[in-house]
Structure 1
Amino acid sequence: MMDYKALLKDIKNGDFKPLYVLHGEEPYFIDLISDAISENAVDESEKDFNLAVYYGRDIDALTLMSEARSFPFMGTRKVVIVREAQDMKDIYELEKLLPNLVESNILVLCHKYKALDGKRKLTKEIANVGVNFKSEKVKDYNLTEWIASYVRSEGYEITSKAASLLGEFLGNDLSRIVNELDKLAIVLEKGTKISDVHIEENIGISKDYNVFELVNAIAIRDTLKAFQIADYFEKNPKDHSIIVVIPSVFKLFTNMMRVHFASNKSPDAIASSVGLHPFVAKELIRNCPNYPPKILARNVEILHQYDLKAKGVGNSSTSDGQLLKEMLVQILN
């Protein structure tokens, strides 16, 4: 993926291209870049005349080409932004525009949630005249580091546990993560090291009773703690569905299986092959003897059974909380 930070730096330094095609699964980067262009490419006093924003469902390729070729009014450049460009029915017709771009203008296409067809002429030739930015999801194993990097860029620090809590609770929804961190920035002074206590007090994620801690308890076979957390989940079901728990436990067991059959079991080798931080890989290696391969295979089958039950297959009355406790009894024994 093109470095979005380098692209933002160019935009803020006034190094603009006539075309930006921002497409892919991660909407956060697309919004970030398009907002930076609208903020930096046109003076505030000119935006009424030289900043045009459309939505894909409301514009066709021919109209957009005409708009993109029109000259700025009483200014140096015109910016045309198409939000939700994935809703344009004839977007690939824009290939006709590429040889005829107005150098003083900027056209921005925000094509969210999926990438453009790489086999089409439009997609292949974007980079010849502008920027082809494919916005990809941050991988789960990189999410904690991405959170830490974002926090540092905002003038704060964060503990690894706090970053892991955010990642486990919010998933790789970057917009939601940034929104929660921005709320923290309102109440914390610059330079503060964000801890799990800050997360619990201001975002509402329990530092002791969460999926992250449950998976850790399962990994070390701490039955008492696992059932304490399960009891808390049962009493607070809104944010603790078994449907959320099962994928995290499945990831633990599949990673353990990979460690068991790895030829090189050093922390660095496991970190590289499994896609984990070296510290996390070291913990994984340490806990693997708790679950021999036969037990792991059995537990993966148990997870599959309870995933079906949680979705109503063969279960019409048992609550999420009770299902979780039943599942823990089986995988911890």
Structure 2
Amino acid sequence: MTPQELETSIRGGRLPLLCYLYGEESFLIERATRLLLEKAVDPSLKDFNFNVFFGNESRGIDIVDAALTLPMFAERRAVLVKRAELLKVDALEVLLEYLRNPATGTCLVFNGLKIDQRKKFFQELKKQGALVEYKRLYENKLSAFILGEAKTQGKPMEPAAADLLSFLIGNNLQELSSQIEKLVLYAGDRPRITLDDVREVASSSKAFTVFELARYLGIRDLSSALKSLDTLFRNGEEVPMMLGALARHFRQLWRVRELLDQGVPQSDIGRQVGINPYFLGEYLQQARNFPRPELSSIFEELYRCDLASKSGGHPYTLMHGLVTGICGGSVGQAVDGG
């Protein structure tokens, strides 16, 4: 079963007797679990019809006993097993028997980080379609996630606004959801969240300042880039975060420059690189500032700066040298780790 299939089933009132939600994306797992439990158990009767266990400290027989208990004053009860990947072998053996004949009045939910499909316990869950994996979203899927979240919260968002928010926050879905809630409130009675809304709400954030730093480097505006850098250090931003954001930005510029050199039409460049048309002109302008050999040197410098920052190099000196070198076209000579 896919996450989408599970959510559709839950919202349609078809609750599974068994499901094991696992994967790297804990935010989506917790949200799906919350939705499932809200549908499965009447909040006013939760004390009678809901049990929580933890895999590292629970016996299989105790979980089974709870699952076999008849619901009180309700149609069903729910049992949640958190950190289920830590269930011991003997617990899995006891639970395996339950999986083969689950109680019709109980929704048994497991949450875990990973699974071992060689074990009979997971083979049985797979046979019943009860395994649901939540993979970490790739960057090219973030804008679609943001647009969906905004629509769910009752306020559609402009695609360009979603692209900017995904750039600023990255794939931290918890933070993205929080920012979308702020944007919904900020937009008020207006029908949709705009690019200017994102810029305004995010203008004081560290992420927005890193976004500005990347942009100023792209247009080789040394004065503005150094001001952004100073702001980041005043706000306590860490060098690895800055370098990660810059690496992401220059990866996109490299790909745009590569396609420009191949004579690919501009409209196709935006589609292939995944850049919203609103931002495409600026990316094209920036990419033209950097021939590919220089971009290669910039990546070498980003890597060297990262290593130097982890081995005692002075953070501000490293970043100041990097910024100066990129804006001045002298990368390869600017950062010495001092």
Normalising by structure 2, what TM-score? 0.81
Displacement, 1:23? 0.3
1:323 aligns with: 318
Q: How many residues align?
A: 324
**Structure 1 residues 88 and 270 mapped into 2: Cα distance closer, same or farther (>3 Å)?**
farther
* Distance in 1 of aligned mates of 2:324 and 2:243: 14
1:64 aligns with: 63
Percentage of identical aligned residues: 26
Q: Aligned with 2:117: secondary structure?
A: coil
* Distance in 1 of aligned mates of 2:234 and 2:127: 57
* Distance in 2 of aligned mates of 1:223 and 1:294: 21
Contact 1:265 1:285 in 2 (8 A): no
User: Which stretch shifts more, 87-96 or 295-304?
Assistant: 87-96
**Structure 1 residues 3 and 208 mapped into 2: Cα distance closer, same or farther (>3 Å)?**
closer
Q: Aligned with 2:21: secondary structure?
A: strand
Displacement, 1:304? 1.1
* Distance in 2 of aligned mates of 1:14 and 1:166: 33
* Distance in 2 of aligned mates of 1:209 and 1:183: 15
Q: How does 1:236-315 map to 2 (within 5 A)?
A: 236=235, 238=236, 240-261=237-258, 265-266=264-265, 270=269, 274=273, 276-277=275-276, 283-311=282-310, 313-315=311-313
Contact 1:169 1:205 in 2 (8 A): no
Q: Aligned with 1:54: secondary structure?
A: strand
2:333 aligns with: none
1:107 aligns with: 108
Displacement, 1:244? 0.8
Displacement, 1:176? 2.5
**Structure 1 residues 63 and 187 mapped into 2: Cα distance closer, same or farther (>3 Å)?**
same
Displacement, 1:266? 4.1
Q: CA RMSD, aligned part only?
A: 3.1
* Distance in 1 of aligned mates of 2:193 and 2:69: 49
1:14 aligns with: 13
1:96 aligns with: 97
Contact 1:234 1:322 in 2 (8 A): no
* Distance in 2 of aligned mates of 1:181 and 1:96: 44
* Distance in 2 of aligned mates of 1:293 and 1:204: 32
* Distance in 1 of aligned mates of 2:104 and 2:279: 49
Gaps of 5+ in 2: 330-338
2:120 aligns with: 121
2:2 aligns with: 2
Q: Residue by residue, what CA displacement relative to the aligned partner does 1:136-185 show, whole Å, maximum 9, x if unpaired?
A: 11212322332232112211244556545543443322122223433454
Amino acid at match of 1:102: A
Amino acid at match of 2:213: L
**Structure 1 residues 276 and 169 mapped into 2: Cα distance closer, same or farther (>3 Å)?**
closer
Q: Does 1:26 align with 2:25?
A: yes
Amino acid at match of 2:233: E
* Distance in 2 of aligned mates of 1:272 and 1:193: 24
Q: Aligned with 1:57: secondary structure?
A: coil
Q: Aligned with 1:75: secondary structure?
A: coil
Contact 1:52 1:80 in 2 (8 A): yes
Contact 2:96 2:120 in 1 (8 A): yes
* Distance in 1 of aligned mates of 2:27 and 2:86: 18
* Distance in 1 of aligned mates of 2:110 and 2:208: 43
Gaps of 5+ in 1: none
Amino acid at match of 1:241: E
User: Which stretch shifts more, 247-256 or 28-37?
Assistant: 247-256
Amino acid at match of 1:18: L
Q: Residue by residue, what CA displacement relative to the aligned partner does 1:8-28 show, whole Å, maximum 9, x if unpaired?
A: 342133211111111000111
Q: Residue by residue, what CA displacement relative to the aligned partner does 1:66-113 show, whole Å, maximum 9, x if unpaired?
A: 3223332343212111123233233653433321211221100111xx
Q: How does 1:40-79 map to 2 (within 5 A)?
A: 40-79=39-78
Contact 1:165 1:205 in 2 (8 A): no
Contact 2:71 2:77 in 1 (8 A): yes
* Distance in 2 of aligned mates of 1:179 and 1:287: 31
User: Which stretch shifts more, 171-180 or 242-251?
Assistant: 171-180
